[in-house]
Amino acid sequence: RLGLERADTAEKALTVIVDLLEKYGQGGNCMESHMVFTYHNSFLIADRKEAWVLETSGKYWAAEKVEGGVRNISNQLSITTKIDREHPELKEYAKSKGWWDGEKEFDFAATYSYVNTARMTTSRGRYCEGYKLLNKHKGSITSEIMMEILRDKESGINMEGGFMTTGSMVSVLPQQPNLPCIHFFTGTPDPAR
């Protein structure tokens, strides 16, 4: 929200978010229950001309500029070796912890999490299922198709049970500045409604 408030481009919003992350860190409970459950965050940041994926691990972060096609985020780190901006100490911290030897190519998701990045798009999970659904419609995604994808319960994208999806948003951002941007939000906790 602060990125939207303080920036007029996607890249400037990225800068706002990482500046706040470095100053204040992140945290807070993900649930309203008494169970303590926290996690790091991922963001899709887009304007009419460009889009970025920002992923965080504590105060450390990596950002990838989306160059085309489709891109999704979910409940795991997904930025691998294409890193366009990063925390200035990202790699040094990984080396100091013994997570990266400084020799092989740096892979953010593999280094800062348990994810086997070679299997991210083939093993069943929310990230993989979202990737498949987006690629199935690549080149012909409309707001209606995107809403259909976000309603999908079988894939786990629209979660139900102990952890529930509490809302979804679809935005249409025409490149022509004379056309309005349109944003659709769910009005209930369940995007299937």
Full DSSP string of 143-185: HHHHHHHHH-STTSSS--SSS-----EEEE--SSTTSPPEEEE
Range of the domain at 184: 120-192
| pLDDT band at residue 82 under the 50/70/90 scheme | very high
Q: Are residues 109 and 135 in the same domain?
A: no
Q: 90, 116, 142 — which closes off a domain? A: 116
Q: Are residues 80 and 35 in the same domain?
A: yes
| Residue 22 CB neighbours (<10 A) | 13
**DSSP label of 97:** T
Q: Are residues 111 and 165 in the same domain?
A: no
Q: Which of 190, 76, 55 is nearest to 126 (CA)?
A: 76
Digit-coded pLDDT (tens) for 37-79: 667 889 999 999 999 999 999 889 999 999 999 999 987 899 9
Distance, CA of 4 to CA of 7 (rounded, Å): 6
Distance, CA of 171 to CA of 2 (rounded, Å): 18
Render the burial of 144-169: b for 16+ CB within 10 Å, e for the rest.
Answer: eebeebbbeeebbbbbeeeeebeebe
Q: 99, 116, 133 — which closes off a domain? A: 116
| E strands, the chain, in order | 42-46, 51-57, 60-66, 85-86, 169-172, 182-185
| pLDDT band at residue 118 under the 50/70/90 scheme | low
Q: Are residues 83 and 109 in the same domain?
A: yes
**Residue 73 CA to chain centroid, in angstroms?**
4
Mean pLDDT score of the chain, rounded to an integer? 90
Instruction: Write down the pTM of the prediction.
Output: 0.89
